[in-house]
C-alpha cells in the first residue's frame, strides 16, 4: 500500500512540475501588458524614476514588509538557538 501511495505521489507531483514548466513565460519574449503599464505609469503614480523601486516598495509594499518580517523572525530564531546560555558558559 505504501509503495502504491509513493508511486502515485511521484506521478502527481511530476505531472504538476511538468505542467508548471510548460506554462512558464518563455525567456526573451516581448514584455506583457503589465510591464508596459508599470513602465508608463510608475512615475506618475508613485513619484519615483526607478520602476523596480516603485514595484518593490509601492505596488508590493505589504508583500515586501511580510518578507522582511519572515526574514527577521528566522534570523532571530537562529540566533536564539545558537546562543550560549549563562549556565553553559561556566562549564
Residue 20, pLDDT score: 93
pLDDT of residue 91 exceeding 70: no
**Domain extent at residue 63:** 2-89
- What's the start-to-end Cα distance of the chain, in Å? 51
Structural domains in the chain (count):
1
- What does the pLDDT average to over 19-32? 81
The pLDDT tens digits of the residues spanning 44-76 come to 988 888 988 888 888 888 888 999 999 999 999
Amino acid at each position: 500500500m505504501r509503495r502504491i501511495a509513493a508511486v502515485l505521489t511521484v506521478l502527481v507531483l511530476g505531472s504538476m512540475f511538468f505542467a508548471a514548466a510548460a506554462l512558464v513565460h518563455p525567456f526573451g519574449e516581448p514584455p506583457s501588458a503589465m510591464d508596459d503599464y508599470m513602465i508608463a505609469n510608475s512615475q506618475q503614480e508613485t513619484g519615483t524614476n526607478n520602476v523596480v523601486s516603485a514595484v518593490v516598495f509601492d505596488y508590493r509594499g505589504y508583500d515586501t514588509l511580510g518578507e522582511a518580517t519572515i526574514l527577521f523572525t528566522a534570523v532571530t530564531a537562529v540566533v536564539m538557538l545558537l546562543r550560549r546560555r549563562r549556565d553553559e558558559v561556566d562549564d
